[in-house]
Amino acid sequence: MSIRPALLCLAIIAQPAFAQPTLTAMEDYTVGHKIETVICDTGTLGLLNVSPGPGGANQVWDFSSLSGRDSFTSYIIPATGNAFSSQFPGANIGRRNVYANGDVEYGFYNKTSTSTDLLGFIDSTGTHGSPKYPDSVLTAVRPFTYSTVAADTYTINFDWVFKSPNTPPYVHQTGYGNDTIVADGYGTLILPNRTYHNVMRIKNTHLEWDAPAPPFNTSAWYTSRRWRTMYKWYSDSFASPLLTIDSDAFIINLTSPLPAKYVSYTKSEVLLSTPTPTALAGISNANSFSAAIKSDRLCVMGLPGGGAPYEVSLFNINGQQVYTSTFRSDHERQYFDMNAEPVPGIYFLSVRESRNAAVPQIIKLLKE
């Protein structure tokens, strides 16, 4: 991996309404973090109809009208101790994504105090590809300030998995690319569940070139180019982005033994995440329910009845999950025996209706 730091010199004419944020927690995960992510509706045929809006200082990005169509949960896990650890000896932290259809994906990273690098993904179902980056992909630099740029080069090995009986079990391809991260704006982010101030927007662009490797002759079947642009909004209270707009485009040049032709493919995603809280800043108690901790019992009050299924999770101030349970909201008050009394201090309670892609609501509790 090679990194070329740079600075963009931007003239700010007006006095900023908010202090320029500095991101010190971006992608700085620790084991035990949990992130709930809603995949939002992006319009007909999945074509992106959500604009990321302008960059610059003191922006107001309003995405309050986003609606969910699916969801997945991410767990930050140790890099060792699972079936795929040996394939990523340089990893020191992992990520387990659990999707609503039952698919599970593992990501492996190398994290230092100042950066996070992606080493690769493994899809444990075997139905999708498994990209690995021998020369890793830079995903974050810390600290990161407005108008800062970081550039990176990487290499990739990728296995496309086929299910047709008339094709080999996989096609192994290799490639290379470059990656640029720029903090292109800051301001206020309005989401369906709440509003965040002093948020930084990161623009992340990938350019990648790939071709098949043996058992196929390189470039004899196809070559491909990939353009990917991701906009991510971060609050320094959290390691994960609050919102991601991801546009991914491929152009595939089919060659011998197939007729030469170009095939283009574009996909887009909008991801709305609720991260495990890692700091007090930015947590609101403006929700439709309330809760209290008494001894070793948790009481949740004010949820709608009707038997709707919910998931409740309690985290300490360090973002460690100390209790979780699923239940049906049949009464005005729901009681949970936690089997052990939490120590006094600040806690965060996440409540999410589990039958749809609803964004979890998070409130702050004090255990005396």
Residue closest to 70 by CA, chosen among 99, 104, 102: 99
Residue extents of the structural domains in the chain: 2-275, 290-367
Eight-state DSSP code of residue 297: E
Residues whose CB falls within 8 Å of the CB of residue 171, separated by 6 or more in sequence, listed in order: 159, 160, 162, 212, 216, 221
The label of the residue with tokens 């139905």 reads 127
- Architecture per CATH, 290-367: Sandwich (2.60)
Eight-state DSSP code of residue 216: S
Q: Is 303 helix (H, G, I), strand (E, B) or coil?
A: coil
Q: How far is CA 131 from CA 81, 175, 261, 275, 292, in A?
A: 20, 11, 25, 25, 45
Compute the CA torsion angle 306, 307, 309, 312 (nearest 10 deg). Answer: 90
Q: What is the pLDDT along the chain (368 residues), one digit of tens a residue?
A: 543 333 222 223 333 456 789 999 999 988 878 888 888 877 654 445 778 999 999 999 998 888 877 888 888 889 987 778 888 999 999 998 988 777 888 999 999 999 999 999 887 754 456 789 999 999 999 999 999 999 999 999 876 654 444 455 456 778 899 999 999 999 999 988 788 899 999 999 989 987 665 444 444 455 677 888 999 999 988 889 999 998 887 776 665 554 445 555 566 677 777 654 433 233 334 456 788 898 899 988 877 666 677 888 888 876 677 888 888 877 778 889 988 888 888 888 888 776 554 556 777 788 88
Tell me how far apart the alpha carbons of residues 306 and 312 are, in angstroms, rounded to a whole number.
17
Tell me how far apart the alpha carbons of residues 10 and 221 are, in angstroms, rounded to a whole number.
46
Cβ-count burial of 174 within 10 angstroms (0-12 exposed, 13-18 middle, 19+ buried)? middle
Tell me how far apart the alpha carbons of residues 111 and 33 are, in angstroms, rounded to a whole number.
15
Residues whose CB falls within 8 Å of the CB of residue 344, separated by 6 or more in sequence, listed in order: 367, 368
Q: Is 165 helix (H, G, I), strand (E, B) or coil?
A: coil
